[in-house]
Amino acid sequence: MDCLIIGGTGTISEGIAVEAIRRGHNVLVLNRGNNCSRIPKGANAIHGDINDVPIMEKILQDKIFDVIVDPITYNLEQMKIRTGLFQGHCRRYVFISSTAVFGNREETMDECSPKKPIWNYGVQKLQCEKYLEDGQFTFDYIIIRPSITYGDIRIPIPVACRNNPWTIIDRIKNDQPLVCFEFKSDHETKHNLMNIRDFSVYAVGLFDKKEAGNSDYIICSDHVYTWADAYESLYCILGKEKHIYEVDRDVFKFMNPTLYDDIVYDKDAKGVLFSNQKVKRDTGIALKEISLEDGIKSLVLYLNDNYQARPLEKDFNELTDAILLCSIKKRDQYLGEYLNGLSRDYKKMLRNIWKKRKLKSLLKSFLFTDLKK
């Protein structure tokens, strides 16, 4: 099959490209050329911005793909433009949606469960899904909803960084503490954490299945894990003692609102689990999944070989240290020694970051309340 994969270097797009190549498909990845080292071996690559319609029309001219995989459409406006572009240029369109379309409820959900998103990300993904379901296109579509995936450049912990995930490993290796939202291990919520290689086996397995046309699928792990499980595996693999400080979720609300939304509506969602029985049935695949420990071992090795030499994520380190310095009142000996070791100028800068973001949040809250009156 001839496959066009938009992106090709992110966690999901790279994983699908690797699996498609492994299965013998011809893979072309389209990206902006910002991270060429992540383009899978065996894939052809073309540089272009999917948001540049004239360039896309030129790239797609006289081409018909068996499958186009789109993991980077996030709202209805983008969906309308891209389905318009792909008309007449593919036989099957694979849209990567999200389990966020279901909302957060204490039950195990499948494809028939009511969709009641409470997070803007899920609301917009659902609008895209409905547009596909209601439209008339020259291609058929598959809607794929990943649960929480990880691998290579995505560490399965709830407060992480995306630009250079080695920053997390570097902090742990250098005995620098991490922060997380508050959770109690005796009744912590569980999640279907899935390694991207396993996810991709099911996703690519749908490409040539006739019954998958104009249908939707949840792809998630058989196994469930807590965030404590993930942290335990990560620290154990690195041979380090855990130093994670829990803070109220509202701290993230003014320090990093995007991260706060991700925490509240996804990473700390209460009791939200999913069923993968439909994708198993339609692909005929019964997979022996990669364990969480083995998956984390693999990503640590990958980051060590490919990201260790890159500049650390300065903003993430400053955000972490500002929270540690300004929000934690009861400091143990370890944290006290760590903070005492920071330079006076650095601590002054961290306090300024804290004050500015808190003030900005208060002003935003005040203005929003005033507008509602």
pLDDT, tens digit, 9 for 90 and up, residues 190-235:
899 999 999 999 999 999 999 999 999 999 999 999 999 999 999 9
pLDDT digits (tens, 9 = 90+) for 68-115: 999 999 999 999 999 999 999 999 999 999 999 999 877 899 999 999
Residue 372 burial (CB count, 10 A):
6
Q: Is the pLDDT of residue 270 over 70?
A: no
User: Of 1, 9, 10, 11, which Cα lies nearest the Cα of 40?
Assistant: 9
State residue 367's pLDDT score.
57
Q: Say which amino acid occupies 297.
A: K
Q: What would the DSSP string read from start to end of 303-342?
A: HHHHTTTSPP-HHHHHHHHHHHHHH--S--HHHHHHHHTS
Q: What's the gap between Cα 72 and its chain centre? A: 11
Which tokens belong to 135? 């439209």
Q: What is the mean pLDDT of the chain?
A: 92
State residue 371's pLDDT score.
42
Contact 322, 179 (CB under 8 A): no
Going by pLDDT thresholds of 50, 70 and 90, the confidence category of residue 120 is very high
Which residues are paired to 145 by β-bridges?
218
pLDDT digits (tens, 9 = 90+) for 155-198: 999 999 989 999 999 999 999 999 998 875 545 778 999 999 99
Region of 140 please: left (phi>0), alpha (psi -120 to 50) or beta: beta
Which residues are paired to 217 by β-bridges?
144
User: Of 306, 178, 295, 168, which Cα lies nearest the Cα of 233?
Assistant: 295
In angstroms, the Cα distances linking 75 to 53, 174, 213, 259, 361 are 16, 40, 22, 19, 26
d(CA 5, CA 28): 6
Q: Alpha-carbon dihedral of residues 39, 43, 44, 49, nearest 10 degrees?
A: -40
**213 contacts: CB under 8 Å, gap ≥ 6:** 92, 140, 141, 142
User: Of 91, 138, 99, 131, which Cα lies nearest the Cα of 115?
Assistant: 99
Q: Alpha-carbon dihedral of residues 210, 213, 276, 145, nearest 10 degrees?
A: 150
**183 contacts: CB under 8 Å, gap ≥ 6:** 189, 226, 227, 228, 246, 268
d(CA 257, CA 319): 12
User: Of 97, 252, 230, which Cα lies nearest the Cα of 155?
Assistant: 230
Q: Is the pLDDT of residue 281 over 60?
A: yes
The whole-number average pLDDT for the span 351-368 is: 81
